[in-house]
A and B are shown apart, each in its own frame.
Chain A
Amino acid sequence: MEPNIPDVIFIFVLAIFVGIEVISKVPSMLHTPLMSGTNAIHGIILFGGILVLADAATPLAQALGFVAVVFGSANVFGGFMVTDRMLQMFKKKKK
């Protein structure tokens, strides 16, 4: 199915502004967890890997798709886990 190109570009442009807006007031102490957290979000590429591998027709396509799924899976799971591990340590002073 062909994407409706103007619609997709519309979403793309809006997402650019949202991305800038949500991050512009972040204190620098959270930059590392934030980089790690956004890093996990682009792990959504796992779905791209799943979609190409599901329809892979040749052994080469299967092999490359398999690598893409492994990479994407490591990116998404590792990314969220490492971010959580960092953030669970941010605590206020215990009274």
Chain B
Amino acid sequence: MNSSIAYIIIGVSALFIIGIKLLASPKTARIGNLVAAAGMVIALVSLHKPTGDYVWSQGWSFNYTLIAIGTVIGLIIGAIGAYSVKMTAMPQMVALFNGLGGGAAALVASLEFQRGAHSLAGITAFIAGSMLFATLIGSLSFSGSIIAYLKLEGKFEKPHTFPGQNFLNGLILLVILGLCGWLTFNASGGNATTAFIVMFCLALFFGVAMVMPIGGADMPVVISLLNSFTGLAVAADGFAINNLAMVVAGTLVGSSGTLLTLLMCKAMNRPVTNVLFGAFGSGGGAQAGAAGIVGTVKPIQADEVALLLAYATRVVIVPGYGMAVAQAQHSVRELSDELGKRGVEVQFAIHPVAGRMPGHMNVLLAEANVPYDQLIEMEAINPTMDRVDVCLVIGANDVVNPAAREDKSSPIYGMPIIDADHCKTCIVMKRSMAAGFAGIENLLFYKDNTRMLFGDAKASLNALVAAVKAS
């Protein structure tokens, strides 16, 4: 590798790091994404082979035609996916793109492994090990992401478990690791290709087996984890084909993705092992919360709510995924604007896992032009909740369930929640009395200061907007 390539790689790595850094603030996030994309373009233009030859000066061959066609097809698929996806389905889209990246990492590693194993020079244990690692992690990230995608799309959303499942999964993993260990030192052996194919298939199967037992509510954590897995697979591919830009980019994603996964688990107050092996919400939990119920459900009409809102000093809105499903973001913003005109202070309380991913709710509200300085995070708003006149809970459930504080037998006990019950009047907008995504009864609905406004969130909100305007 000559020194000019090294300098380009240093520059590209710096662009990736600066890009991720800028993504950390709402003001600079968009620029950060573009900075990272610019790094990608520079890296592509200056791409060199492991031998040090410049890729784009090797003379055009059929393979280059294939590269051009493949890149364009991928570009079209990516663009259609990126611009047609609804904001509510964003987690699925990320899962899908991640799965494709994992699949590509596994294929690249497989091809390089086979080529290296059958070349005259053979393959060193370090290279073989990196490629096997990339194949294993990439293919399980591929199949796992597809399952995560399907689960978020509502296919077999419930956890699938059977006795001895963790034991069986452990056994499969042991076989995979055994095969990898053997292949590392026998890459050119007689049965190596067969062993490799068996390992590849088992890794694909393991991705499915790993994600199937996990409930739909935990998919964000799984996607984040698989995202970091793909990063590591890419880094291992970078080792194997001696491309340092891939090593740096892959490792950055691997380590930041792992940290992000842990942050998400922390927000839900559950250890990551519990998410991966606990099969949360597989039944049982549904009945657990019912014991602590005192009081009755008190319905309320829209006109009455409008009066409460119009003459309040401070209103806090707690949006949940239900609001997004009803496509009610724009109506919420209208209501907030209308109240703002009347001098009411309106804020949005955002739980760290509101929506389907941390930050998902912010995206959904941003889409409806709610300014981000009106969105307050849970830790910041909770101490002030007892000075709130009206708290409007729209399609949120588990994140405002006081059972997390009060009921030790509840599966969500210990999860940080927004203290909606601490305000003067709490209005819960809900379609029906059905339990939330985690299948747990909500104690908030039975509190003395809670009123239920039943009906479709969007229709109710539109009624509220009209009533507030009239009052």
Contact = CB atoms under 8 A, between A and B. Distances in A.
Contacts of B249: 41-42, 44
A6 to B, nearest CB: 11
Interface of B: 1, 13, 16-17, 19-21, 23-27, 29-30, 32-34, 36-37, 40, 43-44, 47, 49-52, 55, 58, 62-64, 66-67, 69-75, 77-79, 81-83, 85, 87, 90-91, 93-94, 97-98, 100-101, 103-105, 107-108, 110-112, 114-115, 124, 126, 223-224, 227, 230-231, 233-235, 237-239, 241-257, 259-260, 263-264, 267, 350, 352, 355, 357-360, 362-363, 366-367, 369, 371-375, 377
Given A17-B255, A47-B245, A80-B37, A72 B47 contact: no
B359 A34 contact: yes
B82 A92 contact: no
17 contacts: A12-B247, A15-B252, A20-B255, A32-B360, A33-B29, A36-B94, A38-B252, A40-B36, A43-B40, A44-B43, A52-B107, A62-B66, A67-B107, A74-B81, A78-B79, A84-B30, A86-B87
A48 B104 CA distance: 8
B40 A90 contact: no
B77 A56 contact: no
Contacts of B40: 40-41, 43-44, 76, 80
A41 B251 CA distance: 10
Given A34-B359, A45-B104, A47-B245, A81 B24 contact: no
B263 A31 contact: yes
Contacts of B247: 8, 11-12, 15
A74 B112 contact: no
Given A35-B260, A42-B253, A45-B104, A81 B83 contact: yes
Interface of A: 1-3, 5, 8, 11-12, 15-20, 22-57, 61-62, 64-94
Given A29-B350, A64-B107, A77-B74, 9 more contacts: A15-B252, A19-B256, A22-B20, A33-B29, A39-B98, A46-B104, A51-B50, A90-B366, A92-B373
Contacts of B259: 19-20, 23-24
Interface of chain A, main secondary structure: helix
Contacts of A91: 366, 369, 371-372
A53 B49 contact: no
A62 B63 contact: yes
Contacts of B114: 61
A39 B228 CA distance: 8
A82 B78 CA distance: 9
Given A45-B108, A64-B110, A28 B352 contact: yes
A41 B20 CA distance: 9
Nearest to B28: A87
Contact of A82 (B97, B111, B239): B97
A35 B89 CA distance: 14
B1 A78 contact: no
Given A49-B108, A72-B104, A32 B363 contact: yes
A48 to B, nearest CB: 4
A75 B243 CA distance: 19
Given A11-B244, A54-B55, A75 B359 contact: no
Nearest to A63: B66
Contacts of A11: 244, 247-248, 251
Contacts of A3: 239, 242
A75 B70 contact: no
B253 A61 contact: no
A74 B363 CA distance: 22
A23 B374 CA distance: 23
A70 B377 CA distance: 39
B255 A45 contact: no
